[in-house]
Amino acid sequence: MRHARLLFVALALTAACDCNESTDESASTTPTPAEPAPEPLAALEAPEVNMDKVYLGRRLFHDPILSGDGTISCATCHSLDHAGAEPRRSSNGIRGQVGPINSPTVLNAHFNFVQFWDGRAANLQEQAGGPVENPLEMGTTFPEAIERVKTDAWYVERFASIYGGEDPINKENITDALAEYERYLVTPSPFDAYLAGNQEAISEQARRGHATFKEVGCASCHMGVNVGGTMYQKMGVVQNYFEARGGELTEADMGRFNVTQAESDRHFFKVPTLRNVALTAPYFHDGSIEALDEAVRVMGRVQLGRDLEDNQVADIVAFLQSLNGELPEHARLPEDETPPSRAAAPAEGEAPAEGATEG
């Protein structure tokens, strides 16, 4: 009898174990809802700035006083009317010289991890000093530019009140003021409102384009707050961009290689921001593409190995247009602060400098 009771208990325990195992197995095969992929793009948040420095940097940015012949300012190649970029294939410098590369936008440049296409400047202040002494751009030296700035009473007063010291007009303070103005040039867009939860801030087509942008792989490089500006990438990851473009290779086509001389950096460039990109044609470092939809197609082929369909391109373009933002209130130079003509008088026998007036 005792053996019978033991056998019954054993059978009962076995049944209980079988039942529990069956329940656990059933639970383990129940599908779990997939976690949504993290959003690779982020909304803008304007940095805090010193507005006195911004106003000083704003006038310097629009003043050709920093150029060798008084005809070229930062705004010549970074026009606020062209979303901080230029409507030309490459930059124009003093004496009508043509530069080798297309000027990237300065809008939202604060969010880039480095400056210039090849990343040779670590920050905005370092970048601000480069064009002044570039012979193809402003073509002067800082000692010469500083002496010219010191002849302007408006600058003398502002530099003294902001920076103080015995000699406030110097390279460090000039580039600091320019950098502070550029930090101020942040342009919130409808897409930022969309990211904040306003589904109606952008069109249905732009919402489709945002999804397509991520699905086809664009966001693997164009990510973060600036929809770009976070890494270097090779121009032509999948297909050879330069063969498809045609023409001779230029020094500018070498990209990051020009800075590091490392073969692994040849044709690598800082991934550009796509904010305001619908307003900054022509496109790429070489300014070779005029239309945004064609730029999207080229990037699809050479970077992703995809021949994007017409509807995909149209949707992505609609999304990119939603990245067009508004300039901050005090971005433009007031008319009453417009600097006087700085064009140097030509030497005897020379033609007037481009942009100068005879009289």
- Catalytic machinery residues: 137
Spatial distance between the Cα atoms of 194 and 192, rounded to a whole number of angstroms: 5
Tokens of 212: 């397509």
Q: What is the CA radius of gyration of the chain?
A: 29
Number of H helices, E strands in the chain: 13, 2
Asked whether the beta carbons of 137 and 66 are under 8 A apart, the reply is no
Asked whether the beta carbons of 82 and 279 are under 8 A apart, the reply is yes
Asked whether the beta carbons of 253 and 267 are under 8 A apart, the reply is yes
Q: What is the DSSP letter of 289?
A: B
Tell me if residue 284 falls in helix, strand or coil.
coil
Asked whether the beta carbons of 266 and 73 are under 8 A apart, the reply is no
| CA-closest candidate to residue 265, choices 252, 256, 273 | 256
Residue with token string 């010291």: 165
| CA-closest candidate to residue 46, choices 186, 243, 181 | 186
Buried b (16+ CB within 10 A) or exposed e, 151-186: ebeebeebbeebbeeeebbbbebbbbbbbbbbbbbb
Phi and psi for 271 in degrees, rounded to 5? -65, 125
Asked whether the beta carbons of 330 and 54 are under 8 A apart, the reply is yes
| CA-closest candidate to residue 265, choices 235, 292, 294 | 235
Residues 6+ away with beta carbon under 8 Å from 122 = 114, 115
Tokens of 35: 């976690």
CA dihedral defined by 70, 94, 177, 75, rounded to 10 degrees?
100
